[in-house]
Each structure stands twice: as structure tokens, then as C-alpha cells.
Amino acid sequence: MSLSTLGWDEFFSRHFDPHSAAGLMPARVALEHKHAYELLAATGELTAVCTGKLLYTAIARTDLPAVGDWVAVRLRPGEQQADIHAVLPRRTKFSRRAAGDSGGEQIVATNVDTVLLVTALDQNYNLRRIERYLALAWESGAQPVVVLNKSDLHVDPAGARAEVESIASGAPVVALSAARDESLEALAPWLVPGRTLALLGSSGVGKSTLINRLLGTDRLLTSAISAAVGKGRHTTTHRELIVAPSGVLVIDTPGMRELQLWDVHEPALDSTFADIAALTARCRFSDCAHRGEPGCAIQSALDTGTLYFDRWQSFQKLQREQAYAARKADPRLERVLKANWRKLHRQMRATQRMEHEKE
Ligand SMILES: Nc1nc2c(ncn2[C@@H]2O[C@H](COP(=O)(O)OP(=O)(O)OP(=O)(O)O)[C@@H](O)[C@H]2O)c(=O)[nH]1
Ligand SMILES: [Mg+2]
Ligand SMILES: [Zn+2]
């Protein structure tokens, strides 16, 4: 296995220089156990643990290796065992707020190129949930693709696809049936050798089924139980990176029942809600709170129906959640975020003024 088949490129190579000088070797994290990792390296599979120094110098859990990471390891002589000395900088990082009260950042996967946001066209289908996943995806740095699975269970999959396209702000949307479709041609553009694909979505939407189709084997466990019982059952219990026969690297993840935003910054919210950002720039007052002020563009769009109330509510909810997560993380951050939003707002206004003057 060459490193490039595992997703290695110029970016990681550049950051590895000091480590190769120290005689370390690169490897990619495929699976995370409680205290050990399974890695893929040019020499094959390895089992590894973090060195005491790495554990000691980590400030947060997120400084430790996660699935998708490139790490610098030293092999133990004569064994398929290695010690992880360092984690390379991440090109992309998909995080969420940990479930429960701790509320810390939890890394779902790193160095993902394309993230498939999987929704099933059954009772799971929900535009608001898709918006939420999109916001996280834009923040991660990976390219989002919305996958509407179980098209066999929907009377009008093409209609659903058009509906999702209208809220997806340019992200590609595909409808398919992982269980039935003979080929998964719809996904061909993203099945590129050496590229990393992660699948995210609620439990039971068919992520593992889809990956098994990509692998051409029933390697991953799938089950109808979680879909039927609905509560607390996840068929997939850990994240895992697998090399598919097509050469694409896929990361399966357990379904998320509680998808809490972690640190979604305004630009990501803004990519998800480009229509709303454009509207707010048109309000008469630059500090418009959109609560009945005269000349409020949001209000008039809601009145005429060009902006759906549900979508506006969804945006407000995500904004509140984002502010909450930011406060928990760092009280100063919220001020910075507010300032960023004002700056973006000013930029949009300036652009609009220029367009106005041109007319
Ligand atoms: N009708 C139909 N059923 C499907 C389709 N794809 C998957 N399923 C079924 O949905 C159920 C759940 O599929 P999984 O692949 O285990 O779902 P998952 O997203 O991996 O779930 P977790 O691992 O719990 O997060 C299984 O019974 C699958 O057979 C599809 O296209 N159509
Ligand atoms: Mg699964
Ligand atoms: Zn307004």
C-alpha cells in the first residue's frame, strides 16, 4: 500500500518533514479503541498507542489522534506495534458538541474531503435536520453532498431531491436506494482513489448499508433494529476508516441521535443560509433585530412567502445554539463572532450599494 492510496499528499508531507528527520514514519488512524489505535501504513496494518509524552502534552482530548488523522509513529522492533509520537495538523475536522452535560468538543472524523450527509426518505426525512448537518459540514472544511437514501420508500424521490436542493445552498443532492439500486452511479463523482469520504446521519438511515455497497461485501454490520425501535440503538458503534476497491477511503460513523453544533462560525451558517444573509443586508437599519422594525427585509420576505417561516426559525435556532456552544468554549469568542457577523454584514451592504449605484 503506498501512502498516496491512503490519502497522503503534499500538505501532509510538508508537515511531516521534522518527524521524518527524527526517524518517524507516517500512518493513518483507521480505528480508535479505548486506549489503542489501529493504523494503516505503507507497510500494512499496525496497532499503536500514544507515547506518554503525547498524552502528557495534550491540552484537550482533541489533541489526541482521531479517526482520519495522520500520525508520526515509531515501530517497535520485530512487532506490528507502534508508538504514536505526534498528530499532524488536520486539513479538515468534523466536530460536534459531546452528548450529555460535559458539552466539550468531540471529533467525529478528520481529513475528510467529501462528507455524505445521509438522510432516509422515510420518517427520518426532515429539511431542518439537513440544514443542521450542512452547517456542520461547511464548518468542517469538507465538501458536503446530501444523500437521500431509501428512495424506494418515497412516492416522489425526484420531488424530494428538488425540495432539498432549494435549501442546500449549492451542495449536490442525490437520491438513491442503497438496498436496491444496482449501481451507485449517482455517487461516482466522489469515488476518487485516495480521497476520503465520511458518512454522517441519524441511526438507521443506511450509512453502513451504503458503505457495504461501495465495498462490494457485507463487511459492516447493518440492522433494521435501530430503525424499528428508534431509541438508543446504534448498529455501528465506532468510527472506522476502510479502503474501498475503487480506491476511495470511507469512514463509517455511528448514527447521531443528538446532533449538537460545535463552534459553527458565522461563515458556515452563512453558507447554509446564504438567502437569509442576503436578506438581512437589505434591512433598512444595519442593527435590525428583525422583530417588526420598519423596512425589515426578513419580515417582508416572510410576508410574501419568499422566505419560509420554518427556515427562518431553523436559522435562529442554529444561531442561538452556536452562541451557546461558543460561550461554553470561550466567552471571548462570542464577541469575536458577533464582530465577524457585523463585518460580513457591512461587506454585503457595501456590495449592494455598489450594485445600486451601477443601476
Ligand atoms: N427500504 C430500504 N431500506 C434500506 C435502504 N438502505 C438501508 N436500508 C435498511 O435500513 C436499515 C438500517 O441500515 P444501516 O445501514 O444499519 O443504518 P446505519 O445508518 O448504518 O445505522 P447506524 O449504524 O445505527 O448509525 C437496515 O435494515 C437496512 O437494510 C434502502 O435503500 N431502502
Ligand atoms: Mg451503521
Ligand atoms: Zn430586519
Q: Which three cell numbers stand for residue 258?
A: 443528538
Nearest alpha carbon, ligand 1 atom 12: 204
Question: Which bin fits 346, alpha (ψ -120 to 50), beta or left (φ > 0)?
Answer: alpha
Distance CA 11, CA 16 (A): 9
Kindly state if the Cβ of 152 falls inside 6 Å of ligand 1.
Answer: yes
Give the three cell numbers for residue 344: 460580513
Q: Does the structural domain 266-358 have CATH classification 3.20.20.80?
A: no
| 198 Cα to the center of ligand 2, angstroms | 12
CA of 240 to the centre of ligand 2 (A): 10
CA 196-180-197 angle, to 5 degrees, is 5
Atom 2 in ligand 1: residue holding the nearest Cα: 150
CATH of 3-87, one of 3.20.20.150, 1.10.10.10, 2.40.50.140, 3.40.50.720: 2.40.50.140
> For position 113, what pLDDT does the model report?
95
Question: Residue ranges per domain, the chain?
Answer: 3-87, 93-252, 266-358
Q: What is the pLDDT of residue 227?
A: 44
Q: Rounded to the nearest 10 degrees, what angle do helices 157-165 and 127-140 cross at? A: 50
Report how far ligand 1's centroid is from the alpha carbon of 36 (Å).
Answer: 29
The torsion angles phi and psi of 48, rounded to 5 degrees, stand at -145, 155
* CA 291 to centroid of ligand 3, rounded, Å: 7
Place of cell 488523522: 69
Judge if the beta carbon of residue 203 lies within 6 A of ligand 1: yes
Place of cell 438507521: 204
**Three-state DSSP class for 333?**
helix
**Spatial distance between the Cα atoms of 67 and 328, rounded to a whole number of angstroms:** 25
Kind of pairing between the strands at 114-120 and 143-149: parallel
Ligand 1 touching residue 236 (CB < 6 A): yes
Report how far ligand 1's centroid is from the alpha carbon of 164 (Å): 20
Q: Which atom of ligand 1 is nearest to the CA of 202?
A: 25
Half-sphere exposure of 51 (CA within 13 A, CB side): 16
Q: Which atom of ligand 1 is least distant from the CA of 153?
A: 1
Q: How far apart are CA 26 and CA 106, in angstroms?
A: 24
Place of cell 461554553: 328
- CA–centroid distance, 233 to ligand 1, in Å, is 13
Q: Is any atom of ligand 1 closer than 6 Å to the C-beta of 212? A: no
Tell whether ligand 1 has an atom less than 6 A from the beta carbon of residue 206: yes
pLDDT along the chain (359 residues), means of 10: 92 95 95 89 92 82 91 90 95 79 76 95 88 85 94 94 91 93 85 94 90 83 55 68 92 73 63 84 89 92 90 84 61 53 67 65
Q: 93-252: which CATH topology?
A: Rossmann fold (3.40.50)
What is the pLDDT at residue 263? Answer: 54
Q: Check if 150 has its Cβ closer than 6 Å to any atom of ligand 1.
A: yes
Query: What is the position in ligand 1's atom list of the atom closest to the CA of 209?
Result: 15
